Amino acid sequence: MSDADRQIQVLDGLGGDDSTTYHLARFDGRMWVTMRRALPTANPEAHRRAGDLARRLRHENVITTVATGTGEGGLPYTVEEFLVGLSAAELRDAGAPVPWVVAARIVRGLGGGVAQLLRLLTESKLPLPPSMGPSRIAISFDGRAKLVDPLQHVRGAQPTGHERFGYTAPEVLRGAEPTTAALVFSLGTVLWELCAGRKLFPAETLEAARELMSYPVVDRLEGKIAGFPGRLDEILQIALAKSPDERFRSPDALAGALTVAIGTVAADIAPYMQKTHALRHGEQKEWLRKQQQMLSVPPMMPAPVRPDPESDIATQAIRRSVLPKKSGETPAPPAAAPKPPTPAPAADPAVARVATPRGMPAPPPR
């Protein structure tokens, strides 16, 4: 076991993908981190290459890699800083559209990190990522947007479902190599979804994505969302153009256009993020409280059966004939009341005196 392995205290699992498992951990007993471990079925060399590149990727808008190493079975791992915040996908699904200024600042803030990622991949002669979905964009509570696992494609992992097909440019879906214009399309899709509060291309398969993206235009948001500026709508139309030649050339160019669109409008993301987190945290606390309450309540026991003072057959028959019947149930005929017993004939006192000796009880009547 290496020194780095001894510094990592794995605490809980966070999920994973087709090549990696994620764990919440502490590094060197000082900071919360996310530990990414390669699965036995993964390509170890691809994981090591991705880890080495991640150590070189240093930008304020990229999740920082704390350490890399080799664990059990020779499988590599990567330790990253743990960002306390929400993903862009969680913001989109929070129940209301994100204010356009906040959404524009989030996407604009990614420009520098994406640009450095592209330069690193170009220098290493590696392909660009085919897409960039909202689950790979995290926003901290101080309002800083960061890329999560930007080298996912280098280690051979593939997002699934909507995260894979809903943010891939049309030309890449048709088989073309990813370009900077394709990443502009991905970021434009994320921006549109944050502003609208819903998915733009809700496709789970390649065929569905191709059909959805075959439409010539994208829905405009101006006039549908109160206060949405027309200049931002024009930026979205350019970023989401079907032809890569009609889009912004790079994420940097998109970020510059968003800076002009925001202008002098003051918008601090931190209060919005803190309020959104407080609402989500409150929902989580209420859910946990209900779960704990359910666990603390003893199981329901059947109520004890108390004797009915009027439980004779005649009273029960009357009750059955009066109480309402369940739907679909055929009422049973009331039970007949039992006949009273026939009284015995009275004994003749004279016969009793003659036939019975003194001091003996009289015989029962015949």
Q: Is residue 233 located within the same domain as residue 209? A: yes
Contact at 8 Å (CB) between 39 and 22?
A: no
CA distance 193 to 91: 10
Q: Is residue 156 located within the same domain as residue 14? A: no
The mean pLDDT value for 234-256 works out to 93
pLDDT at 289 over 80: no
pLDDT, one tens digit per residue, over 292-307 is: 566 555 544 444 444 4
Q: Is residue 94 located within the same domain as residue 211? A: yes
User: Among residues 260, 283, 306, which one ends one of the domains?
Assistant: 283
pLDDT, one tens digit per residue, over 93-122 is: 877 888 899 999 999 988 888 989 999 999
Q: Is residue 190 located within the same domain as residue 213? A: yes
User: Among residues 81, 106, 136, which one ends one of the domains?
Assistant: 81
pLDDT at 82: 85
Contact at 8 Å (CB) between 259 and 108?
A: yes
pLDDT at 354: 40
Contact at 8 Å (CB) between 93 and 22?
A: no
User: Among residues 46, 81, 116, which one ends one of the domains?
Assistant: 81
Q: Is residue 30 located within the same domain as residue 48? A: yes
pTM higher than the cut 0.85 = no
Contact at 8 Å (CB) between 142 and 270?
A: yes
Q: Is residue 138 located within the same domain as residue 276? A: yes
Per the domain annotation, does 353 fall within a domain? no
pLDDT at 72 over 70: yes
Q: Is residue 9 located within the same domain as residue 94? A: no
At residue 26, the 3 state secondary structure works out as: strand
Q: Is residue 46 located within the same domain as residue 110? A: no
For the sheet containing 20-27, what is the strand order? 8-16, 20-27, 31-38, 76-81, 65-70
The DSSP secondary structure of 192-257, one letter per residue, reads: HHHHHTS-SS--SSHHHHHHHTTSS-----BTTBTT--HHHHHHHHHHT-SSGGGS-SSHHHHHHH
The mean pLDDT value for 53-74 works out to 88
Domain count, the chain: 2
DSSP letter at 81 equals E
pLDDT at 250: 92
Nearest to 185 by CA among 281, 253, 283: 253
Per the domain annotation, does 307 fall within a domain? no
Q: Is residue 186 located within the same domain as residue 236? A: yes
Boundaries of domain holding 241: 85-283
